[in-house]
Structure 1
């Protein structure tokens, strides 16, 4: 499947999910990375008007999980997130945030993703580590 086809598939996969609720959109698939963006509006603010860390974590897990879908054998395996850690470094109250997921470790069973969340000016907003696990699909 081409990178353009992967972006189209990702749009369909996000319909009627949290990703659609948060308006997360996949924008780029590279040879070793996936990028998504999310608008920063009052819908994803915490009460004091800045981006909620939970929304940031949801964006990060979404882009990391999609990267697993793109780069792993999902025909024979399920991919599930098993641990996520986030360090929020800078606040943002409007515009877009961009999440770029890259492998730190691509093991047979577990994978570790480095996900950088930035604003439009490439200021680092959050650094996230996501661990995923591949589980074999049961044969029908």
Structure 2
């Protein structure tokens, strides 16, 4: 198992309890995910789900949800799904590519997103994310390609570990 700290150990221990995994994911959200209000709502072997309430701070000058919000949701859900899958093999993951398409404008309500794997290989994973509005209309979709790193790998001079804000 990779030396990724107590959060990873907790995830491994909670592997059979989706509610416990959701709680751990929410406890370890990045400051950026917290800033946009992203909350994980579900997790399974083949999906990760989250919600983001649309607030005035997430709108661009035309009053529509900013494209960066959609890209953040895509990145966060795909990264979480890939990490959960890779940790079972003692691996960590880092992003290689994020392609997000904006399909329909939306101005309010709650965005609901679901990430599912398209490919889960030993070296790379590709996850697809759909984001829906309150009318269940797909307002954005994207895919993220992730690199799977063996346990103990370092990036930017440090080993990968789940962190809380400020750690």
Alignment TM-score, normalising by the size of structure 2: 0.78
After superposition, the Cα gap between the structure-2 partners of 1:40 and 1:108, relative to the gap in structure 1 and judged at 3 Å, is same
- Aligned-pair distance for 1:121? 2.0
Higher RCO, 1 or 2 (CA under 8 Å, sep at least 6)?
Answer: 2
CA radius of gyration, larger in: 2
1:4 and 1:70 map into 2 onto residues whose CA distance is 14
Match of 1:69 among 83, 98, 102: 83
Which residue of structure 2 lines up, in the alignment, with residue 48 of structure 1? 62
The number of aligned residues is 139
1:23 and 1:90 map into 2 onto residues whose CA distance is 21
- Aligned-pair distance for 1:70? 2.2
* Consecutive unaligned residues in structure 2, runs of 5 or more: 1-13, 154-158, 160-167
Match of 1:123 among 112, 117, 137: 137
1:107-118 counterparts in 2 under 5 A?
107-118=121-132
Which residue of structure 2 lines up, in the alignment, with residue 21 of structure 1? 35
Match of 2:92 among 70, 75, 78: 78
1:20 and 1:58 map into 2 onto residues whose CA distance is 11
Alignment TM-score, normalising by the size of structure 1: 0.92
* Consecutive unaligned residues in structure 1, runs of 5 or more: none
What RMSD in Å do the two structures reach over aligned CA positions? Answer: 1.7
Match of 1:58 among 61, 72, 75: 72
